[in-house]
Amino acid sequence: MSLSEEERIIIPDENGEEHLFEVLFTFDVDENNQSYIAVVAAEDTDEEEQEVFAFRYEERDNEDDLALFAIETDEEWDLVEEMLNTLIDEEL
């Protein structure tokens, strides 16, 4: 996955096809010393309802390169959902 100045990233799917996503936000959680990123598909940014994808990430040696990991535990999902809800409330 690559991160660009426009806050857009390219994420390959399981078939190796690359898809463009817009970064909604990134945040760090001190409790588990992990970093998270929430994105939406770039082609859906004009839609009223968008599917949000979230991942745990680690920065690589190249600062524009990130490694994404699936969020697997309910505790991690709760953290991401809480942050997303907070951001939505702030925008309303």
Cα 69-51-7 angle, rounded to 5 deg: 65
State the Cα–Cα distance between residues 19 and 83, nearest whole angstrom: 24
Residue 20 confidence class, pLDDT cut points 50, 70, 90: very high
Name the token pair of 58: 């680690």
Q: Is 52 helix (H, G, I), strand (E, B) or coil?
A: strand
Q: What is the pLDDT of residues 55-90, one digit of tens each?
A: 999 988 776 688 999 998 998 899 888 888 887 777
Residue 6 confidence class, pLDDT cut points 50, 70, 90: low
Residue with tokens 């996955």: 1
Q: What does the pLDDT read at residue 45?
A: 61
The whole domain housing 10 covers 2-91
Cα 29-31-33 angle, rounded to 5 deg: 60
User: Total domain count for the chain?
Assistant: 1
In sequence order, what are the beta bridge partners of 75? none
Q: What does the pLDDT read at residue 47?
A: 63
3: pLDDT strictly greater than 60: no
